[in-house]
Amino acid sequence: MVISHQPVMVDEVISYLITIPEGIYVDGTVGTGGHSLEIFKRIAPKGELICLDIDRSSIRLAKERLSPFGERVKIIKESYVALDKVLKRIGIDKVNGILLDLGVSSYQLESSGRGFSFIKDEPLDMRMDEDRGATATELINNISIEKLQELLWVYAQERWAKLIARAIVEERRKGPIASSRQLAILIETTIPARYRPRKRHPATKTFQALRIAVNRELQNIADFLEECPSLLVKGGRAVVISYHSLEDRLVKQAFHQRGKDNISPRKLPVFPDTSPPLMKALRKKGLRPSQAEINVNPRARSAIMRAAERT
């Protein structure tokens, strides 16, 4: 099996995530298992690792890669939003650390055949979980022009949102837009030549916005961040790697706001203390990958990592 995905900021993840090697850790977005492999090396032989992903094919690849580690690694097809239910099902109350490495994997972009990339000609599906929800084809062929424009603006700040939304609605009158190449060419020819970005494909933002919408990516992150403190032991860590500012903003707000609330002198103690557990950021600023890492793995260039501890 050839794994094209290179895990991002591995040393940084390990140093913030693992507090005790005999603990229980969760990789909430296992992908093809790059981070999990490194985490497991550091927690073996006593630690345990629970790996989740909603992508069936990624789960299969992760199982092949991590199966030599036996019972101490559990690989489950489930959303990280349902982590509380997964833990209950396997009889675990709380864990020592949770990693989320957000975004799309190289495997999904290059080999899944689901239209994540504008470079390939594939059915425009874009679902990470093929067992659930509407495809990108269903979304763009049925959404109203106003909602489409809003989606492109809110999820990708696409300055040509209005023009692109109009072009998509006109094109779909001739027949459904069903392939990644068809959509990429449509966008390329819609944006006036002199305004086309030089360093990235003109369809980059549209593809990003559709992927976020199809997979409910921001809602999932927000739901997880809400639940996260109650899934960690005291002193347990959450580490999240984001790849665009919308994701990072949610993580930053959750980690910093909660930490501040917790030490606010104005907050009087309540007895018995029924307030929910809180997270405290371990670093003021998000951590970026080194230039050396970006040189060997260009996908890392937009990564930003944040870590917080359950207080």
Ligand X SMILES: C[S@@+](CC[C@H](N)C(=O)[O-])C[C@H]1O[C@@H](n2cnc3c(N)ncnc32)[C@H](O)[C@@H]1O
Q: Which residues bind ligand X (CB under 6 A)?
A: 5, 7, 28-29, 31-35, 52-55, 58, 79-81, 101, 103, 105, 128, 215, 220
Minimum distance of ligand X from residue 138's CB (angstroms) = 19
Strand-pair category, 304-310 with 279-281: antiparallel
Tokens 């999820």 found at: 155
Judged by CB, which is closer to ligand X: 53, or 171? 53
Minimum distance of ligand X from residue 102's CB (angstroms) = 6
Q: Are 185 and 124 in contact (CB under 8 A)?
A: no
ω into 45 cis (within 30 of 0): yes
Minimum distance of ligand X from residue 87's CB (angstroms) = 14
Minimum distance of ligand X from residue 124's CB (angstroms) = 17
- Within 90-214, residue ranges assigned H as helices are 106-111, 136-142, 145-156, 161-174, 180-190, 204-214
Minimum distance of ligand X from residue 185's CB (angstroms) = 27
Judged by CB, which is closer to ligand X: 52, or 304? 52
201 burial level (CB within 10 Å; 0-12, 13-18, 19+) = middle
Judged by CB, which is closer to ligand X: 52, or 238? 52
Judged by CB, which is closer to ligand X: 58, or 96? 58
Beta pairing partners, 123: 179
Judged by CB, which is closer to ligand X: 211, or 258? 211
